[in-house]
């Protein structure tokens, strides 16, 4: 399973765009990149998933360069309610069981 | 229900007692996962079920931990002779069949069971 590295924490202000980068140098051919968001006292929630290039949904965008050794989660115009922990996961979605690769995540603090 | 349901939401127990934590996955989800999350830490994988079988138990921290699943539905995580280091939030997640074409890898998590061992 590919190991991921993310910044421990980030600060931002309301209305700014936030980019969180995740490194996964050992990503395998069949691996997908998935991001989750976790609020205090709640379980993680799926945000976005991609394999290569760019993926966009109503919540975020995910940028994946051609070599796929990193990915960047982009949150447009954050609000206070976006304060949470963001986890980057890399794994083969066909095999089941994302094991220990949630890691510590990135704690995003959005200030007024 | 519409989501993954876990019970109890909070459990306080004394060191040495046994505890059982329950997870009701989303109906139709064949895969079920247990994770442990200590305060301020990331998620630690414990065990994964495909149907009623557990092909991956590699994350169970000791033989005091066990889990079962019946009817391809409810799962119970049992911790025997609890220790203070077992204090954590235990999260359950479910997903569609990982080998199925409809599977996107998305895990649906419950709110967790917070265990405090005194």
Average pLDDT, chain B: 90
Q: Please answer yes or no on whether A98 and B41 come within 8 Å at the CB atom.
A: no
Residues 6+ away with beta carbon under 8 Å from A38 = A44, A45, A84, A85, A86, A87, A105
Average pLDDT, chain A: 89
Share of chain A above pLDDT 90, in %: 70
Per residue in B74-100, pLDDT tens?
A: 999 999 999 999 999 999 999 886 665
Q: Please answer yes or no on whether B98 and A97 come within 8 Å at the CB atom.
A: yes
Kindly identify which residue of chain B lies nearest to residue A33, measuring between CA atoms. Answer: B105
Kindly identify which residue of chain B lies nearest to residue A104, measuring between CA atoms. Answer: B42
**Position with higher pLDDT, A99 vs A33:** A33
Are the CB atoms for A93 and A100 separated by under 8 Å?
Answer: no
Which pair of tokens denotes residue B110? Answer: 């419950």
Least confident of A23-32, A42-51, A93-102, B6-15: A93-102
In degrees, rounded to 5, the angle at the alpha carbon of residue B97 between the alpha carbons of residues B91 and B99 is: 125
State the pairing for strand pair A9-13/A106-111: parallel
pLDDT value at A87 more than 50: yes
Q: Please answer yes or no on whether A44 and B4 come within 8 Å at the CB atom.
A: no
Band of the pLDDT at B58, cuts 50, 70, 90?
Answer: confident
Q: Please answer yes or no on whether B42 and A102 come within 8 Å at the CB atom.
A: yes
């Amino acid at each position: 399973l590919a190991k991921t590295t993310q910044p421990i924490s980030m600060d931002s202000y309301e209305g700014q765009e936030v980019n969180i980068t995740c490194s996964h140098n050992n990503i395998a051919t069949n691996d997908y990149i998935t991001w989750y968001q976790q609020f205090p006292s709640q379980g993680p929630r799926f945000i976005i998933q991609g394999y290569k290039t760019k993926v966009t949904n109503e919540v975020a965008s995910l940028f994946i360069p051609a070599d796929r050794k990193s990915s960047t989660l982009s949150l447009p115009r954050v609000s206070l309610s976006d304060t949470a922990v963001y986890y980057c996961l890399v794994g083969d979605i066909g095999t089941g069981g994302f094991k220990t690769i949630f890691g510590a995540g990135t704690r995003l603090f959005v200030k007024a | 229900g519409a989501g993954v349901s876990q019970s109890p939401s909070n459990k306080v127990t004394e060191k040495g007692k046994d505890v059982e934590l329950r997870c009701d996955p989303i109906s139709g989800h064949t895969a079920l996962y247990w994770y442990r999350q200590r305060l301020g830490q990331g998620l630690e994988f414990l065990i994964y079920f495909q149907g009623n079988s557990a092909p991956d138990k590699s994350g169970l921290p000791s033989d005091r931990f066990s889990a079962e699943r019946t009817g391809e539905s409810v799962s119970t995580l049992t911790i025997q002779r609890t220790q203070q280091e077992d204090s954590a939030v235990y999260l359950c997640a479910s997903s569609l069949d990982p080998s199925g074409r409809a599977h996107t890898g998305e895990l649906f998590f419950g709110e967790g069971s917070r265990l405090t061992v005194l």
